[in-house]
Protein backbone atom coordinates (compact mmCIF):
# COMPACT_ATOMS: atom_id res chain seq x y z
CA UNK A 1 0.00 0.00 0.00
CA UNK A 2 3.03 2.29 0.48
CA UNK A 3 3.55 2.59 -3.29
CA UNK A 4 -0.14 3.28 -3.87
CA UNK A 5 -0.07 6.17 -1.39
CA UNK A 6 3.16 7.64 -2.79
CA UNK A 7 1.89 7.38 -6.38
CA UNK A 8 -1.40 8.87 -5.25
CA UNK A 9 0.40 11.82 -3.63
CA UNK A 10 2.51 12.28 -6.76
CA UNK A 11 -0.60 12.35 -8.91
CA UNK A 12 -2.30 14.65 -6.39
CA UNK A 13 0.48 17.23 -6.66
CA UNK A 14 0.80 16.83 -10.42
CA UNK A 15 -2.94 17.27 -10.87
CA UNK A 16 -2.92 20.37 -8.69
CA UNK A 17 -0.52 21.89 -11.22
CA UNK A 18 -2.30 20.52 -14.28
CA UNK A 19 -5.79 21.51 -13.23
CA UNK A 20 -4.69 25.03 -12.35
CA UNK A 21 -4.05 25.33 -16.09
CA UNK A 22 -6.47 22.96 -17.85
CA UNK A 23 -9.86 24.69 -17.29
CA UNK A 24 -8.38 28.02 -18.34
CA UNK A 25 -6.79 26.83 -21.58
CA UNK A 26 -9.90 26.95 -23.84
CA UNK A 27 -10.81 30.38 -22.48
CA UNK A 28 -7.20 31.57 -22.81
CA UNK A 29 -7.08 30.32 -26.40
CA UNK A 30 -10.38 31.89 -27.46
CA UNK A 31 -10.32 35.13 -25.46
CA UNK A 32 -6.58 35.95 -25.37
CA UNK A 33 -5.09 34.30 -28.45
CA UNK A 34 -8.04 34.54 -30.87
CA UNK A 35 -8.46 30.79 -31.48
CA UNK A 36 -11.74 29.16 -32.54
CA UNK A 37 -13.48 26.05 -31.06
CA UNK A 38 -12.12 24.09 -34.03
CA UNK A 39 -8.56 25.10 -33.06
CA UNK A 40 -9.26 24.06 -29.45
CA UNK A 41 -10.33 20.65 -30.76
CA UNK A 42 -7.27 20.42 -33.00
CA UNK A 43 -4.88 21.20 -30.13
CA UNK A 44 -6.45 18.73 -27.72
CA UNK A 45 -6.81 16.01 -30.35
CA UNK A 46 -3.20 16.26 -31.54
CA UNK A 47 -1.76 16.51 -28.03
CA UNK A 48 -3.73 13.60 -26.62
CA UNK A 49 -3.38 11.31 -29.62
CA UNK A 50 0.33 11.80 -30.30
CA UNK A 51 1.18 11.31 -26.64
CA UNK A 52 -1.06 8.27 -26.38
CA UNK A 53 0.97 6.50 -29.03
CA UNK A 54 3.78 6.43 -26.48
CA UNK A 55 1.79 4.65 -23.80
CA UNK A 56 1.91 1.16 -25.27
CA UNK A 57 5.60 1.48 -26.18
CA UNK A 58 6.46 2.90 -22.77
CA UNK A 59 4.71 -0.07 -21.23
CA UNK A 60 6.56 -2.45 -23.52
CA UNK A 61 9.94 -0.96 -22.57
CA UNK A 62 8.98 -1.13 -18.90
CA UNK A 63 8.09 -4.82 -19.20
CA UNK A 64 11.29 -5.69 -21.06
CA UNK A 65 13.51 -3.83 -18.59
CA UNK A 66 11.33 -4.77 -15.61
CA UNK A 67 11.80 -1.19 -14.44
CA UNK A 68 8.89 1.17 -13.88
CA UNK A 69 10.19 4.05 -11.78
CA UNK A 70 12.68 5.76 -14.19
CA UNK A 71 10.06 6.04 -16.94
CA UNK A 72 7.48 7.35 -14.48
CA UNK A 73 9.88 10.04 -13.21
CA UNK A 74 10.78 11.10 -16.77
CA UNK A 75 7.11 11.42 -17.64
CA UNK A 76 6.16 13.53 -14.66
CA UNK A 77 9.19 15.79 -15.20
CA UNK A 78 8.27 16.35 -18.85
CA UNK A 79 4.75 17.42 -17.90
CA UNK A 80 6.10 19.88 -15.35
CA UNK A 81 8.56 21.48 -17.77
CA UNK A 82 6.00 21.81 -20.58
CA UNK A 83 4.00 24.36 -18.60
CA UNK A 84 6.72 26.93 -19.31
CA UNK A 85 5.69 26.98 -22.98
CA UNK A 86 2.09 27.80 -22.08
CA UNK A 87 3.24 30.57 -19.74
CA UNK A 88 5.25 32.13 -22.58
CA UNK A 89 2.60 31.56 -25.29
CA UNK A 90 2.09 34.34 -27.84
CA UNK A 91 0.00 32.24 -30.25
CA UNK A 92 -2.03 29.04 -30.15
CA UNK A 93 0.96 27.15 -31.61
CA UNK A 94 2.83 27.68 -28.33
CA UNK A 95 -0.11 26.25 -26.41
CA UNK A 96 -0.13 23.27 -28.79
CA UNK A 97 3.57 22.67 -28.06
CA UNK A 98 2.96 22.95 -24.33
CA UNK A 99 0.02 20.54 -24.44
CA UNK A 100 2.03 18.06 -26.51
CA UNK A 101 4.85 18.23 -23.95
CA UNK A 102 2.39 17.69 -21.10
CA UNK A 103 0.69 14.76 -22.80
CA UNK A 104 4.08 13.40 -23.92
CA UNK A 105 4.95 13.13 -20.25
CA UNK A 106 1.65 11.44 -19.51
CA UNK A 107 2.31 9.01 -22.35
CA UNK A 108 5.64 7.99 -20.86
CA UNK A 109 4.51 7.65 -17.26
CA UNK A 110 0.99 6.18 -17.41
CA UNK A 111 1.66 2.50 -18.16
CA UNK A 112 4.70 2.10 -15.84
CA UNK A 113 2.87 3.89 -13.04
CA UNK A 114 -0.26 1.76 -13.43
CA UNK A 115 1.94 -1.34 -13.55
CA UNK A 116 3.53 -0.35 -10.22
CA UNK A 117 0.04 -0.09 -8.75
CA UNK A 118 -0.91 -3.54 -10.07
CA UNK A 119 2.44 -5.08 -9.06
CA UNK A 120 2.04 -3.71 -5.52
CA UNK A 121 -1.54 -4.91 -5.01
CA UNK A 122 -3.25 -8.08 -3.84
CA UNK A 123 -4.96 -9.54 -6.94
CA UNK A 124 -8.29 -9.47 -5.09
CA UNK A 125 -8.02 -5.73 -4.42
CA UNK A 126 -7.02 -4.23 -7.77
CA UNK A 127 -10.21 -2.19 -7.98
CA UNK A 128 -9.59 -0.80 -4.50
CA UNK A 129 -6.00 0.21 -5.33
CA UNK A 130 -6.81 1.82 -8.67
CA UNK A 131 -9.83 3.50 -7.10
CA UNK A 132 -7.70 4.89 -4.24
CA UNK A 133 -5.17 6.23 -6.74
CA UNK A 134 -7.91 7.85 -8.81
CA UNK A 135 -9.39 9.40 -5.66
CA UNK A 136 -6.07 10.99 -4.66
CA UNK A 137 -5.38 12.02 -8.26
CA UNK A 138 -8.75 13.70 -8.52
CA UNK A 139 -8.44 15.27 -5.06
CA UNK A 140 -5.44 17.05 -6.59
CA UNK A 141 -7.67 18.22 -9.40
CA UNK A 142 -10.15 19.61 -6.86
CA UNK A 143 -7.40 21.54 -5.08
CA UNK A 144 -5.91 22.70 -8.39
CA UNK A 145 -9.18 24.03 -9.73
CA UNK A 146 -9.92 25.74 -6.42
CA UNK A 147 -6.48 27.40 -6.53
CA UNK A 148 -7.08 28.40 -10.16
CA UNK A 149 -10.30 30.12 -9.14
CA UNK A 150 -8.66 31.88 -6.19
CA UNK A 151 -5.64 33.06 -8.18
CA UNK A 152 -7.65 33.97 -11.29
CA UNK A 153 -9.95 36.21 -9.26
CA UNK A 154 -7.11 37.56 -7.11
CA UNK A 155 -5.10 38.54 -10.19
CA UNK A 156 -8.25 39.96 -11.84
CA UNK A 157 -8.40 37.53 -14.73
CA UNK A 158 -4.66 37.30 -15.45
CA UNK A 159 -4.20 33.83 -16.94
CA UNK A 160 -0.40 33.83 -16.92
CA UNK A 161 -0.05 34.42 -13.19
CA UNK A 162 -2.12 31.28 -12.57
CA UNK A 163 0.03 29.33 -15.03
CA UNK A 164 3.24 30.44 -13.27
CA UNK A 165 2.02 29.25 -9.86
CA UNK A 166 1.14 25.85 -11.37
CA UNK A 167 4.85 25.04 -11.66
CA UNK A 168 5.27 24.68 -7.88
CA UNK A 169 3.10 21.59 -7.23
CA UNK A 170 4.15 20.06 -10.56
CA UNK A 171 7.82 19.91 -9.56
CA UNK A 172 7.00 18.84 -5.99
CA UNK A 173 5.21 15.83 -7.47
CA UNK A 174 8.37 14.74 -9.28
CA UNK A 175 10.32 14.91 -6.01
CA UNK A 176 7.74 12.83 -4.10
CA UNK A 177 7.89 10.12 -6.78
CA UNK A 178 11.51 9.38 -5.83
CA UNK A 179 10.17 7.61 -2.71
CA UNK A 180 8.45 4.87 -4.72
CA UNK A 181 9.90 1.40 -4.25
CA UNK A 182 10.31 -0.79 -7.31
CA UNK A 183 8.60 -4.17 -6.87
CA UNK A 184 10.98 -7.08 -6.62
CA UNK A 185 11.53 -8.96 -9.84
CA UNK A 186 8.96 -11.74 -10.10
CA UNK A 187 10.04 -13.15 -13.44
CA UNK A 188 13.66 -13.86 -14.46
CA UNK A 189 14.64 -11.53 -17.31
CA UNK A 190 15.97 -14.47 -19.29
CA UNK A 191 12.47 -15.97 -19.39
CA UNK A 192 10.72 -12.84 -20.65
CA UNK A 193 9.85 -12.87 -24.32
CA UNK A 194 8.94 -9.92 -26.47
CA UNK A 195 5.31 -8.97 -25.95
CA UNK A 196 3.37 -9.95 -29.08
CA UNK A 197 1.54 -6.87 -30.23
CA UNK A 198 -0.36 -8.44 -33.13
CA UNK A 199 -4.09 -8.31 -32.61
CA UNK A 200 -4.68 -12.05 -32.87
CA UNK A 201 -2.50 -12.80 -29.84
CA UNK A 202 -4.64 -10.84 -27.36
CA UNK A 203 -7.07 -12.36 -24.90
CA UNK A 204 -10.53 -12.47 -26.62
CA UNK A 205 -12.29 -10.70 -23.75
CA UNK A 206 -9.61 -8.00 -23.72
CA UNK A 207 -9.90 -7.57 -27.50
CA UNK A 208 -13.65 -7.05 -27.30
CA UNK A 209 -13.28 -4.59 -24.46
CA UNK A 210 -10.60 -2.59 -26.28
CA UNK A 211 -12.74 -2.40 -29.44
CA UNK A 212 -15.64 -0.96 -27.46
CA UNK A 213 -13.37 1.50 -25.61
CA UNK A 214 -11.85 2.71 -28.88
CA UNK A 215 -15.22 3.19 -30.58
CA UNK A 216 -16.51 5.06 -27.56
CA UNK A 217 -13.40 7.27 -27.60
CA UNK A 218 -14.41 8.45 -31.10
CA UNK A 219 -17.41 10.17 -29.52
CA UNK A 220 -15.70 11.21 -26.29
CA UNK A 221 -14.21 14.59 -27.18
CA UNK A 222 -12.10 16.77 -24.90
CA UNK A 223 -13.65 18.05 -21.68
CA UNK A 224 -12.76 21.51 -22.90
CA UNK A 225 -15.86 21.47 -25.09
CA UNK A 226 -17.94 21.21 -21.90
CA UNK A 227 -16.18 24.31 -20.61
CA UNK A 228 -16.77 26.15 -23.89
CA UNK A 229 -20.43 25.13 -23.76
CA UNK A 230 -20.67 26.67 -20.30
CA UNK A 231 -19.04 29.88 -21.51
CA UNK A 232 -21.45 30.04 -24.47
CA UNK A 233 -24.39 29.82 -22.06
CA UNK A 234 -23.21 32.95 -20.30
CA UNK A 235 -20.95 31.65 -17.57
CA UNK A 236 -18.11 34.00 -16.59
CA UNK A 237 -14.62 32.42 -16.76
CA UNK A 238 -14.45 32.33 -12.95
CA UNK A 239 -17.79 30.49 -12.86
CA UNK A 240 -16.55 28.02 -15.48
CA UNK A 241 -13.65 27.21 -13.16
CA UNK A 242 -16.12 26.54 -10.33
CA UNK A 243 -18.14 24.23 -12.58
CA UNK A 244 -14.99 22.27 -13.28
CA UNK A 245 -14.32 22.19 -9.54
CA UNK A 246 -17.76 20.67 -8.89
CA UNK A 247 -17.04 18.02 -11.53
CA UNK A 248 -13.76 17.06 -9.87
CA UNK A 249 -15.29 16.89 -6.38
CA UNK A 250 -17.92 14.48 -7.67
CA UNK A 251 -15.25 12.48 -9.50
CA UNK A 252 -13.02 12.22 -6.41
CA UNK A 253 -15.81 11.17 -4.07
CA UNK A 254 -16.95 8.32 -6.30
CA UNK A 255 -13.63 6.84 -7.51
CA UNK A 256 -12.57 4.90 -4.40
CA UNK A 257 -16.01 3.44 -3.52
CA UNK A 258 -16.49 2.45 -7.17
CA UNK A 259 -13.17 0.59 -7.19
CA UNK A 260 -13.98 -1.25 -3.96
CA UNK A 261 -17.44 -2.12 -5.26
CA UNK A 262 -16.00 -3.48 -8.51
CA UNK A 263 -13.88 -5.96 -6.51
CA UNK A 264 -17.08 -7.28 -4.93
CA UNK A 265 -19.65 -7.30 -7.73
CA UNK A 266 -17.45 -7.34 -10.85
CA UNK A 267 -16.34 -4.68 -13.31
CA UNK A 268 -19.05 -5.18 -15.95
CA UNK A 269 -22.04 -3.69 -14.11
CA UNK A 270 -20.17 -0.54 -13.11
CA UNK A 271 -18.72 0.08 -16.56
CA UNK A 272 -22.10 -0.30 -18.26
CA UNK A 273 -23.63 2.05 -15.69
CA UNK A 274 -20.83 4.55 -16.29
CA UNK A 275 -21.37 4.67 -20.05
CA UNK A 276 -25.11 5.07 -19.59
CA UNK A 277 -24.43 8.01 -17.26
CA UNK A 278 -22.16 9.53 -19.92
CA UNK A 279 -24.88 9.17 -22.56
CA UNK A 280 -27.45 10.82 -20.32
CA UNK A 281 -25.24 13.73 -19.29
CA UNK A 282 -24.16 14.51 -22.86
CA UNK A 283 -27.81 14.51 -23.88
CA UNK A 284 -28.32 17.00 -21.06
CA UNK A 285 -25.51 19.22 -22.38
CA UNK A 286 -27.16 19.16 -25.79
CA UNK A 287 -30.55 20.21 -24.42
CA UNK A 288 -29.56 22.65 -21.67
CA UNK A 289 -30.49 26.30 -22.18
CA UNK A 290 -30.40 27.52 -18.58
CA UNK A 291 -26.89 27.98 -17.20
CA UNK A 292 -28.19 27.08 -13.74
CA UNK A 293 -28.66 23.43 -14.79
CA UNK A 294 -24.97 23.16 -15.65
CA UNK A 295 -24.10 22.58 -11.98
CA UNK A 296 -26.11 19.35 -11.91
CA UNK A 297 -24.74 18.21 -15.26
CA UNK A 298 -21.14 18.65 -14.13
CA UNK A 299 -21.85 16.70 -10.93
CA UNK A 300 -23.32 13.82 -12.93
CA UNK A 301 -20.41 13.96 -15.37
CA UNK A 302 -18.07 13.48 -12.41
CA UNK A 303 -20.00 10.33 -11.47
CA UNK A 304 -19.29 8.89 -14.93
CA UNK A 305 -15.54 9.40 -14.56
CA UNK A 306 -15.47 8.09 -11.01
CA UNK A 307 -17.36 4.94 -11.94
CA UNK A 308 -15.31 4.06 -15.03
CA UNK A 309 -11.67 5.22 -15.04
CA UNK A 310 -10.15 3.17 -12.24
CA UNK A 311 -12.43 0.22 -12.96
CA UNK A 312 -11.34 0.08 -16.62
CA UNK A 313 -7.68 -0.14 -15.57
CA UNK A 314 -8.47 -2.79 -12.98
CA UNK A 315 -10.21 -4.86 -15.67
CA UNK A 316 -7.19 -4.67 -17.98
CA UNK A 317 -4.90 -5.61 -15.06
CA UNK A 318 -7.18 -8.60 -14.34
CA UNK A 319 -6.78 -9.98 -17.84
CA UNK A 320 -3.13 -9.13 -18.62
CA UNK A 321 -0.31 -11.53 -17.60
CA UNK A 322 1.83 -10.03 -14.83
CA UNK A 323 5.02 -9.92 -16.93
CA UNK A 324 3.18 -8.09 -19.75
CA UNK A 325 0.94 -5.92 -17.58
CA UNK A 326 2.46 -2.52 -18.40
CA UNK A 327 2.19 -3.23 -22.13
CA UNK A 328 -1.50 -4.09 -21.92
CA UNK A 329 -2.27 -1.11 -19.69
CA UNK A 330 -0.37 1.04 -22.16
CA UNK A 331 -2.27 -0.43 -25.10
CA UNK A 332 -5.56 0.42 -23.42
CA UNK A 333 -4.43 4.00 -22.79
CA UNK A 334 -3.10 4.30 -26.34
CA UNK A 335 -6.39 3.24 -27.94
CA UNK A 336 -8.33 5.68 -25.77
CA UNK A 337 -5.92 8.49 -26.65
CA UNK A 338 -5.82 7.77 -30.37
CA UNK A 339 -9.57 8.19 -30.49
CA UNK A 340 -9.30 11.67 -29.03
CA UNK A 341 -7.83 13.22 -32.18
CA UNK A 342 -10.73 12.40 -34.52
CA UNK A 343 -13.19 12.84 -31.63
CA UNK A 344 -12.03 16.36 -30.80
CA UNK A 345 -11.64 17.39 -34.44
CA UNK A 346 -15.10 16.04 -35.22
CA UNK A 347 -16.59 17.76 -32.18
CA UNK A 348 -15.07 21.08 -33.24
CA UNK A 349 -16.34 20.72 -36.80
CA UNK A 350 -19.85 19.68 -35.73
CA UNK A 351 -19.93 22.65 -33.37
CA UNK A 352 -18.79 25.02 -36.13
CA UNK A 353 -21.14 23.82 -38.88
CA UNK A 354 -24.22 22.57 -36.99
CA UNK A 355 -24.06 24.13 -33.54
CA UNK A 356 -22.98 23.09 -30.07
CA UNK A 357 -26.01 20.92 -29.31
CA UNK A 358 -25.23 18.45 -32.09
CA UNK A 359 -21.70 17.92 -30.75
CA UNK A 360 -23.26 16.58 -27.55
CA UNK A 361 -26.02 14.62 -29.28
CA UNK A 362 -23.30 12.70 -31.11
CA UNK A 363 -21.45 11.99 -27.86
CA UNK A 364 -24.67 10.81 -26.23
CA UNK A 365 -25.33 8.28 -28.98
CA UNK A 366 -21.76 6.96 -28.76
CA UNK A 367 -22.10 6.52 -25.00
CA UNK A 368 -25.28 4.50 -25.44
CA UNK A 369 -23.64 2.29 -28.08
CA UNK A 370 -20.65 1.77 -25.78
CA UNK A 371 -22.94 0.59 -22.96
CA UNK A 372 -24.62 -1.89 -25.29
CA UNK A 373 -21.25 -3.10 -26.56
CA UNK A 374 -19.92 -3.64 -23.05
CA UNK A 375 -23.03 -5.61 -22.13
CA UNK A 376 -22.04 -8.08 -24.84
CA UNK A 377 -18.24 -8.32 -24.70
CA UNK A 378 -17.92 -8.34 -20.91
CA UNK A 379 -20.68 -10.85 -20.34
CA UNK A 380 -18.13 -13.52 -19.48
CA UNK A 381 -16.53 -11.51 -16.66
CA UNK A 382 -19.12 -11.98 -13.94
CA UNK A 383 -19.39 -15.69 -14.74
CA UNK A 384 -15.62 -16.05 -14.40
CA UNK A 385 -15.51 -14.14 -11.10
CA UNK A 386 -18.46 -16.08 -9.68
CA UNK A 387 -16.65 -19.32 -10.54
* Domain extent listing, the chain: 2-181+201-386
Distance of alpha carbon 386 from alpha carbon 168, whole angstroms: 47
* Predicted local distance difference test score (pLDDT) of residue 191: 47
Dihedral over Cα of 280, 282, 287, 293: its sign: positive
User: Which CATH superfamily hosts domain 2-181+201-386?
Assistant: MFS general substrate transporter like domains (1.20.1250.20)
- The model scores a pTM over 0.85: no
Contact at 8 Å (CB) between 72 and 109? yes
pLDDT of residue 20: 93
Task: Report the alpha-carbon distance of residue 384 to residue 265 in Å, rounded.
Answer: 12
- Short-list 263, 236, 60, 248, CA closest to 152: 236
Q: What is the pLDDT of residue 198?
A: 60
Please give the DSSP secondary-structure letter assigned to residue 28.
Answer: I
* Of 377, 363, 374, residue with least CA distance to 280: 363
CB 213 within 8 Å of CB 326: no
pLDDT the model gives residue 199: 65
CB contact set of 27 (below 8 Å; sequence gap of 6+):
159, 227, 231, 237, 240
**Separation in Å, CA 104 to CA 23, 326, 368:** 19, 17, 31
Burial 62-81 (b: 16+ CB within 10 A, else e): bbbebebbebbbbbbbbbbb
pLDDT on residue 385:
47
What's residue 287's pLDDT? Answer: 95
Average pLDDT per block of 10 residues along the chain, 387 residues long: 90 93 91 88 80 78 85 93 95 94 88 87 84 89 92 92 96 93 60 54 76 86 88 89 91 90 87 94 94 93 91 83 76 77 86 92 94 81 48
- Closest C-alpha among 152, 196, 217 to residue 347: 217
Residue 208's CB is within 10 A of a number of other CB atoms, namely 18
| CA separation for the pair 73, 83 (Å, rounded) | 16
Q: What is the DSSP-derived secondary structure letter of residue 31?
A: I
Contact, 360 vs 229, CB < 8 A?
yes
> Distance between CA 282 and CA 365 in Å, rounded?
9
CB 345 within 8 A of CB 87: no
Chain centroid offset of residue 285 CA: 20
Q: Distance (Å, rounded) from C-alpha 46 to C-alpha 48?
A: 6
Task: Return d(Cα 262, Cα 270) in angstroms, integer.
Answer: 7
Amino acid sequence: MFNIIILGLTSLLTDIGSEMVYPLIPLFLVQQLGATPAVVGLIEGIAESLASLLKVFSGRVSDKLQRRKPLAIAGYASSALSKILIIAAVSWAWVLAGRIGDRFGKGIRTAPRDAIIADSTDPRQKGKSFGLHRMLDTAGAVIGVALAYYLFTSYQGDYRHVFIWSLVPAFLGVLILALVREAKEKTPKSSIKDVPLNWQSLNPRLKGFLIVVFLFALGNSSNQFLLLRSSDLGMHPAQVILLYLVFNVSYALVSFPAGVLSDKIGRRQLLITGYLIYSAVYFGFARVHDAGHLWLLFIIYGLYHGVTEGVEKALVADVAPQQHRATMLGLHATLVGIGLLPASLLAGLIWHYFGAAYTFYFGSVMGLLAALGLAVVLKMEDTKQAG
